[in-house]
């Protein structure tokens, strides 16, 4: 029997390292094909980087540099400062290789990691600069606008990428050419979830491999006959890392509700309404009925747009496990509900619940506790 690495070691060591820092060799795409290093070096200042939602890991910045930033002695409008931050490995989700060319720090290679879309920071230092919060989706990150900076894409592609907006990404656009972007989901609170993604395409490692190989353009193997995809690359830099990556994601729990951020009495009344109208699908409140028998819901059952589901293998939506809701507005796969009030109003209409305004308010207070 093969020797398995210890789970504990994976959870806070190897898995975390892979989640935060591993590019799976995707530099060959982001550097050699997309030429992002040229764009960053010539025109992405820290100010612009923060504007498109990129985050800076304050813990990677040496105290003297942090001091200089605070004192206003660092030019945040200069792309050279971005190169310095990449050299310090301080830009969340981006890996840069910086070499001295002609006496000047030059970004020669750049790649992306899982943390790009699924990590945030607490902004303890300044807006967008702080301690890492792995698993928190970065709903300010404008992935489309970032990719659109690449000199290697067509004007038609550029228009599509620029249409997505912050916090959205379409993980199938480069496969089927369609565009129905998804809200970047949390990667926390999944330990008890059987199938990942809005349409329950498969267990966590299935999806991690899909993204690493087909979206990040890492070097590895991924195949799914349902989608007609079969990628084999050697050496495979993805497959051997999936177990540790899974353990790390499963170790991430969602943020706990903050006391005082909701009305406890109203939430208690809301819980009764939830148990009446919602729990048949959102089983055990934080769970999903997909866990038993891989159950899915046709888009019309919950009044969802069918466009994305039709592009997937399962063609229907998984009941989303509810966790950290306050943290990650907007809601539903396409972000079509801007607030929890919109979620409740949506269900009230689509599922004809006849909730009064007061009852809707109570239900919202309960959702804030999840």
Which residues contact ligand HEC (rule: CB under 6 A)? 19, 112, 114, 116-118, 143, 169, 171, 182, 184-185, 187, 190, 196-199, 204, 207-208, 211-212, 215-216, 245, 249, 277-278, 280-282, 297, 301-302, 304, 317, 319-320, 322, 325, 331-333, 343-344, 347, 363, 367
Cα dihedral 266, 269, 273, 278 in deg (nearest 10): 60
Tokens 């504007």 — which residue? 51
Of 267, 268, 301, 271, whose CA–CA distance to 285 is shortest? Answer: 271
Contact (CB, 8 A) for 189 and 254: yes
**Distance (Å, whole) CA 355 – CA 370:** 20
Which lies closer to ligand HEC via its Cβ, residue 37 or residue 319?
319
Half-sphere exposure of 53 (CA within 13 A, CB side): 23
Q: Find the shortest distance in angstroms from Cβ 47 to ligand HEC.
A: 22
Q: Find the shortest distance in angstroms from Cβ 214 to ligand HEC.
A: 11
Which lies closer to ligand HEC via its Cβ, residue 68 or residue 229?
229
Of 194, 196, 68, whose CA–CA distance to 125 is shortest? Answer: 68
**Distance (Å, whole) CA 203 – CA 185:** 15
Q: Find the shortest distance in angstroms from Cβ 11 to ligand HEC.
A: 14
Would you call the peptide bond into 296 cis, given omega within 30 degrees of 0 as the criterion? Answer: no
Which lies closer to ligand HEC via its Cβ, residue 125 or residue 317?
317
Q: Find the shortest distance in angstroms from Cβ 231 to ligand HEC.
A: 14
Which lies closer to ligand HEC via its Cβ, residue 20 or residue 81?
20
Q: Find the shortest distance in angstroms from Cβ 155 to ligand HEC.
A: 22
CA distances from 213 to 23, 64, 113 (A): 10, 38, 12
Q: Under the phi-then-psi rule, with left for phi > 0, alpha for psi from -120 to 50, and beta for the rest, what region is 177?
A: left
CA distances from 313 to 14, 168, 288 (A): 31, 21, 19
Which lies closer to ligand HEC via its Cβ, residue 35 or residue 297?
297
Which lies closer to ligand HEC via its Cβ, residue 114 or residue 266?
114
Q: Find the shortest distance in angstroms from Cβ 98 to ligand HEC.
A: 22
Q: Find the shortest distance in angstroms from Cβ 73 to ligand HEC.
A: 33
Which lies closer to ligand HEC via its Cβ, residue 149 or residue 211?
211
């Amino acid at each position: 029997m093969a020797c398995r690495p210890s789970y504990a070691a994976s959870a806070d060591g190897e898995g975390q390292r892979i989640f935060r820092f591993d590019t799976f060799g995707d530099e060959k795409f982001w550097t050699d094909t997309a030429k992002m290093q040229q764009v960053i070096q010539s025109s992405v200042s820290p100010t612009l980087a923060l504007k498109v939602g990129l985050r800076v890991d304050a813990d990677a910045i040496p105290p003297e540099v942090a001091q200089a930033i605070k004192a206003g002695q660092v030019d945040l409008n200069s792309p050279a400062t971005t190169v310095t931050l990449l050299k310090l490995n301080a830009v969340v989700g981006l890996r840069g290789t910086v070499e001295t060319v002609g006496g000047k720090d030059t970004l020669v290679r750049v790649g992306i990691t899982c943390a790009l879309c699924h990590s945030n920071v607490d902004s303890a230092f300044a807006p967008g600069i702080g301690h890492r919060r792995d698993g928190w989706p970065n709903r300010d990150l404008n992935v489309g606008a970032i990719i659109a900076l690449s000199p290697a894409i067509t004007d038609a592609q550029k228009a599509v990428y620029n249409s997505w907006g912050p916090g959205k990404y379409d993980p199938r656009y480069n496969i089927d050419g369609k565009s129905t972007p998804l809200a970047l989901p949390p990667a926390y609170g999944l330990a008890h979830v059987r199938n990942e993604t809005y349409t329950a395409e498969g267990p966590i490692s299935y999806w991690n491999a899909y993204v690493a190989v087909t979206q990040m353009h890492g070097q590895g193997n991924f195949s799914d006959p349902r989608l007609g995809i079969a990628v084999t690359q050697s050496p495979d830099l993805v497959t051997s890392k999936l177990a540790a990556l899974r353990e790390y994601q499963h170790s991430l729990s969602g943020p706990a509700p903050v006391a005082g951020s909701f009305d406890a009495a109203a939430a208690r009344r809301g819980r009764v309404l939830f148990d009446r109208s919602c729990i048949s699908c959102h089983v055990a409140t934080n769970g999903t009925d997909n866990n038993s028998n891989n159950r899915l819901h046709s888009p019309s059952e919950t009044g969802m747009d069918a466009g994305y589901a039709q592009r997937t293998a399962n063609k229907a939506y998984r009941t989303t496990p509810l966790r950290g809701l306050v943290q990650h507005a907007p809601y539903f796969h396409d972000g079509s509900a801007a607030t929890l009030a919109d979620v409740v109003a949506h269900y009230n209409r689509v599922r004809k619940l006849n909730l009064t305004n007061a009852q809707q308010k109570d239900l919202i207070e309960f959702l804030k506790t999840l």
